[in-house]
Amino acid sequence: VVGCRGAALVSSRWLHDAQYQVRQDGASRAQEQQDPFELVADELSLLANRLRSMVAAEVPKLASAAEYFFKVGAEGKRFRPTVLLLMASALKFPLSESTEGGVLSILADKLRTRQQNIAEITEMIHVASLLHDDVLDDADTRRGVSSLNLIMGNKLSVLAGDFLLSRACVALAALGNTEVVSLMATAVEHLVTGETMQISTSREQRQSMEYYLQKTYYKTASLISNSCKAVAILAGHTAEVSMLAYEYGRNLGLAFQLIDDVLDFTGTSASLGKGSLSDIRHGIITAPMLYAIEEFPQLQEVVDRGFDNSANIEIALDYLRKSRGIERTKELAREHADRAVKAIESLPDSDDEDVLTSRRALIDITERAITRTK
């Protein structure tokens, strides 16, 4: 009898363990199958429609210009709104249980709408910066289509960017939160500062990694980091939690740009010189080349001569091939990605599955940012 009971107990435990393992395997598969962009796809669709209405203008030409990158099919991946919507879910603040159900739902919906507004404002600021950048860079394409300045001219492109910034300011003022307004205004200031740093560098600054990373923060990471912080502030989180949101955005933005710098040299291929070489053709020295100069100081003479002559580009690429510039840039991107992940892992504990799913998605986005090939 004892033997039968023992066998039954072992069998029961085995069945329990097996069932638990099945559940765990199923959960793991579900996590693996959840695309971060799909998690917020419905909200992104609503945001896209709202953005199109927000950038409508009375003057037909201005309306056409302002709507250029908000048209269906031209929106891009909507990377920043995706990150911000996921951050909003990752920081979901449990409201007091004493609050009535109906009131609880209304408060939660109102907060989510305000956080969606941050995503919309961020996207308008970002697109405005792209329009201005394309004019400064005399670019022909953007997101796989002809740039607005190529189609409508520089003047209208600049005005369209200004118009988007003004609409972003109106939406920002409507939130009525002075701290958030200050954060987003700082991000706009940083965009201008970063672009100015890029076009007015001295010889010493051009070969400084510290200067390069500061410029990269201003041009790329400040907007997403301050937007993430704004999402946390609107939810009423502590300064510590808000700073973790900021650190995630900062390090994600830096990692993203560092990989962009690599792809400018490699494109979809692992071979150097297969990318667009846009930066070097514009005389912009990025991380891979800075690391190459560290290894081969004589490369600095080539950089100083400029790259109007294609022969100088080939010489620089040759030095880059012999160096660990690409590898070291990828390693630096990985360091920042790891810091972004650590920020998410340092957020307050939660047993809310939506919160946990969103945090996993933010970590997934970080990995995608540094392993992408385009």
What pLDDT shows up at residue 309?
A: 81
The DSSP-derived string for 165-220 is HHHHHHHHHHH--HHHHHHHHHHHHHHHHHHHHHHS--HHHHT-HHHHHHHHIIII
pLDDT per position as a tens digit, 165-220: 999 999 999 999 999 999 999 999 999 999 999 888 888 888 899 999 999 999 99
Ranking 150-159, 200-209, 262-271, 313-322 by mean pLDDT, the lowest is: 262-271
Residue 77 has pLDDT above 90, yes or no: no
Angle, helices 287-295 vs 325-345, to 10°: value is 130
What pLDDT shows up at residue 15?
A: 43
Given a contact cutoff of 8 angstroms between Cβ atoms, the answer to whether 136 and 130 are in contact is no
What pLDDT shows up at residue 58?
A: 78
Residue 29 has pLDDT above 50, yes or no: no
pLDDT per position as a tens digit, 31-74: 455 899 999 999 998 988 888 888 888 788 888 888 877 775 55
H or E, element range at 156: helix 154-175
Ranking 93-102, 247-256, 314-323 by mean pLDDT, the lowest is: 93-102
Candidates 1.10.600.10, 3.40.1160.10, 3.30.1490.20, 3.30.70.270; CATH matching 35-92+104-371: 1.10.600.10
pLDDT per position as a tens digit, 78-99: 899 999 999 999 998 765 554 5
Residue 8 has pLDDT above 50, yes or no: no
Residue 23 has pLDDT above 70, yes or no: no
C-alpha to C-alpha distance for 368 and 327, rounded to whole angstroms: 17
209's tokens: 């990694």
pLDDT per position as a tens digit, 263-285: 999 876 666 666 678 888 888 89
The DSSP-derived string for 13-53 is HHHHHHHHHHHHHHHHHHHHH--HHHHTHHHHHHHHHHHHH
**Domain ranges in the chain?**
35-92+104-371
What pLDDT shows up at residue 338?
A: 98
